[in-house]
Amino acid sequence: MIRSVVRGFGAHLPEKVMRNRDLEGVVETSDEWIIQRTGIRQRYIAGEHETTASLGEMAARAALDRAGMTPGDIDLIICATSTPDNTFPATAVNIQNRLGMHHGAAFDLQAVCSGFVFAVTTADSYIKSGLAKRVLVIGAETFSRILDWTDRTTCVLFGDGAGAIVLEAEEGEGTIADRGVLSAHLRSDGAHREKLYVDGGPSTTGTVGYLRMEGREVFKHAVGMITDVIEAAYDATGLGSDDIDWFVPHQANRRIIDASARKLGIADQKVVITVDIHGNTSAASIPLALNEAAADGRIKTGDLVLLEAMGGGFTWGSVLLRW
């Protein structure tokens, strides 16, 4: 059986750090409120010359370096983003060009905060079907550009950044001992649109628009949806929380992460937390967290890693993989 195995990982953050205290002069908020309600201490904000594609390119280069590959080795780029440089062409195609890559294919995937989980699942399907051998999967965002900086209920939560992995086809035994993606479960339900959306777009207002969120409503659904797709991963593989080495969730809110881990019986020391330093970077949050935990030696070859995300749409999903 063909498996999609992680060969490299990388990330890139904007130069500018914005701490909670810096936001106290922007909206009526406090460092204490933000930390207590979200766990966020700081986030990175893209400068004038930084864009989703420039951040994505740097993350992609880092992932290729770690994989010992060049753009010439890649046959597909998928970039998960909801903040593309332009309505079109796709940011993935922009990144492809920046990498000097003029073969293969590149496209964007839009599933908001679940974007990276959707992109890994899509890459895995391309690899399993034989349509691609080496896929560069990027999560890159500049949410600072779609925030209403007068709305304290949203502007304190999000940040910018990019992360990437390289997935490569490898022959496996078809058992859970294989390296690579072992299970993937994706869900969406558009009935929840009004709870988290952007109030503009090319086909409606002709503007880019701003992010709008009923945070409490999203929070209410988050833990249930997250546990649903993780239990689906456990059912599909016969694995459970005790088998997981690392839980790498979407980093929206420390309270959501802690509540999900508690409900699933995942021990605290197995949970990778980066929301404190990155804020919510939407599709970039999981690859940024993977990069932290793999670069500092926590995630090692052979470890069982559980990814999950939930976000606008709603969309939600899980990926269980052996590193």
Query: Which residues contact ligand UT7 (rule: CB under 6 A)?
Result: 29, 33, 37-38, 113, 152-153, 156, 215-216, 218-219, 222, 252-253, 256, 280, 311
- Report the 3 state secondary structure along 208-250: CCCEEECHHHHHHHHHHHHHHHHHHHHHHHCCCHHHCCEEEEC
Tell me how far, at minimum, the Cβ of 201 lies from ligand UT7, in Å.
Answer: 18
Q: How far apart are CA 155 and CA 134, in angstroms?
A: 37
Tell me how far, at minimum, the Cβ of 64 lies from ligand UT7, in Å.
Answer: 28
113 is catalytic: yes
Tell me how far, at minimum, the Cβ of 292 lies from ligand UT7, in Å.
Answer: 18
Cβ nearer to ligand UT7, comparing 82 with 94: 82
Cβ nearer to ligand UT7, comparing 84 with 311: 311
Cβ nearer to ligand UT7, comparing 43 with 322: 43
Tell me how far, at minimum, the Cβ of 279 lies from ligand UT7, in Å.
Answer: 10
Residue tagged active-site, from 250, 253, 278, 291: 250
Cβ nearer to ligand UT7, comparing 58 with 186: 186
Cβ nearer to ligand UT7, comparing 58 with 147: 147
Q: How far apart are the first and last CA of the chain?
A: 17
For residue 56, give the nearest of 89, 95, 82 by alpha carbon. 95
Q: Name the strands in the sheet holding 180-188, side by side, starting at the edge strand that comes first in the sequence.
A: 180-188, 315-322, 304-311, 246-249
Tokens of 85: 């440089």
Tell me how far, at minimum, the Cβ of 187 lies from ligand UT7, in Å.
Answer: 14
280 is catalytic: yes
Q: How far apart are CA 315 and CA 113, in angstroms?
A: 8
Question: Rounded to 10 degrees, what is the CA torsion of 276, 14, 250, 173?
Answer: -120
The residue number whose beta carbon is nearest to ligand UT7 equals: 215
Which stretches of 68-202 are DSSP H helices? Answer: 91-98, 115-129, 152-155
Three-state DSSP at 17 gives strand
Tokens of 166: 């390289």
Q: Are strands 180-188 and 160-171 parallel, antiparallel or unpaired?
A: unpaired
Residue tagged active-site, from 94, 253, 280, 291: 280
Residue tagged active-site, from 113, 155, 192, 278: 113
Q: How far apart are CA 283 and CA 117, in angstroms?
A: 8
Query: Angle at which helices 52-67 and 91-98 pack, to 10 degrees?
Result: 60
Cβ nearer to ligand UT7, comparing 200 with 215: 215
207 burial (CB, 10 Å; 0-12 / 13-18 / 19+) is exposed
79 is catalytic: no
Tell me how far, at minimum, the Cβ of 312 lies from ligand UT7, in Å.
Answer: 6
Active site members: 113, 250, 280
